[in-house]
Structure 1
Amino acid sequence: MSTLPEPSPWVPAPPIAPLRGDEKFVGMNATVQDFWRFAMSDLRVNNTRGYLAEFMVARALGVNALRTEWDDYDVLWDGIKIEVKASAHLQVWAQRQLSQIRFTGLRAHSWGDIEAGMSPEKSYKADVYVLAAHTVLEHAAYDPLDVSAWSFFVLPQAQLVALNVDSLSLARVSGLTEAVGITELAAAVLTAHGRNANLVQR
């Protein structure tokens, strides 16, 4: 009697070098930059706006590492695991009224390992949470590259654990902590993590 073959072992994806943008496709007259322009030209789209917020936070902290899609956090800075959430009043679709800013997905399942898979319970997986709100109210004033249009609210994990919530409205967040600009972000993250904000190099 024949037996089924043993399942193949898991094969991890190897790391790759960052793309420059000028690499050419094989068999098609296009470059990686053409693809980026096609897929991510509009920085107002929700998923791209989230990537943009992560990028701004990383740069504000001096982190140049590339984002990893499946990590339990978005930015790792000096041992501090940081989760970034973004929201905005304006959307790319037609709106009857401005969107209410709300930060969702604060708790999530954790990936244990290949055998265990996802954890059954959601948890707060980062040490510090940076909630980025895009504050512009009119499309005519919306410049996706203007960092001053963003307000950043920084909360420690312990505060979210005490609140026991999966999401927070902008009004609720504003009552918990004051907004900071991008130049104040590093000090706010250190403070939320319980470190001396004076350690930030000016």
Structure 2
Amino acid sequence: MYLTGDEPFIGVDGKSVADFWRYCVPNLMTNTSRGLLAQFLVHTALGSTTQPDEWDCYDVAGEDGLRVEVKASAYLQSWEQRELSWISFSVDKRRPWTDGIGFADEATYNADVYVFALHTAIRHAEYDPLVVSQWEFYAASRAAIADLNQKSAGLATVRRIAQGPVGFDDLGDLIRSVGATAG
């Protein structure tokens, strides 16, 4: 069921789905919200019209069938910090889920392209997740991630194995370019 936000809750006066969304995602600085926002930016950059399914073993599907996993990180968190956060991205294998079967027995790399979205603000007063120029993006092929054979990768590793950084305007082209060479 895909909603617009205008749908009212039945039996709860004056509350709509948009009220629920405001409750769930009021702060785009939290780790969960930042990850979802990064997925949305990748989805938008690819011009994808495919809605995500939380059980898919990747985050965004391109119109051409390209499967993209999105990882997000930032120097700042939603709480006060004494120092900037260490930039790290999870790159571990995952067990895919299939309807009627459940989780696969073996964990694998399931996306064609891995996108690393980094929010670059280093002062809370300047942090605005809606300003896409504050994001930089990197993209790596499944083979590059598999060759790492690691559970996580720091920013130096991402910079070594991935293409980028690029801004939002070049993100779709970067993903398609890496996807075309992913084989």
Partner of 1:65: 50
With normalisation by structure 1, the TM-score equals 0.83
Shift of residue 26, structure 1, vs aligned partner: 1.1
Q: Alpha carbons of 1:34 and 1:112: their partners in 2 closer, same or farther (altered >3 Å)?
A: closer
Q: Say whether the 8 Å CA contact 2:144–2:161 is kept in structure 1.
A: no
Partner of 1:45: 30
2:114 is equivalent to residue 114 of structure 1: no
Pairs within 5 Å for 1:32-181: 32-77=17-62, 78-115=64-101, 117-177=102-162, 178-181=164-167
Partner of 1:11: none
**Which aligned runs of 4 or more in structure 1 are off by greater than 4 angstroms?**
none
- Give 3-state SS (helix, strand or coil) of 2:165's partner: coil
Larger Rg belongs to: 1
- Give 3-state SS (helix, strand or coil) of 1:194's partner: helix
Q: Say whether the 8 Å CA contact 2:91–2:150 is kept in structure 1.
A: no
**Pairwise CA RMSD:** 1.5
Higher percent of residues as strand: 2
Shift of residue 120, structure 1, vs aligned partner: 3.2
Partner of 2:179: 193
Q: Say whether the 8 Å CA contact 2:116–2:137 is kept in structure 1.
A: yes
Q: Alpha carbons of 1:193 and 1:88: their partners in 2 closer, same or farther (altered >3 Å)?
A: same
Q: Percent identity?
A: 44
Shift of residue 165, structure 1, vs aligned partner: 1.6
1:27 and 1:81 mapped to 2: Cα distance? Answer: 40
Shift of residue 91, structure 1, vs aligned partner: 0.7
2:157 and 2:178 mapped to 1: Cα distance? Answer: 17
1:190 and 1:25 mapped to 2: Cα distance? Answer: 40
1:170 and 1:130 mapped to 2: Cα distance? Answer: 12
Q: Which runs of 5+ in 1 are unaligned?
A: 1-15, 196-202
Partner of 2:10: 26
1:102 and 1:81 mapped to 2: Cα distance? Answer: 22
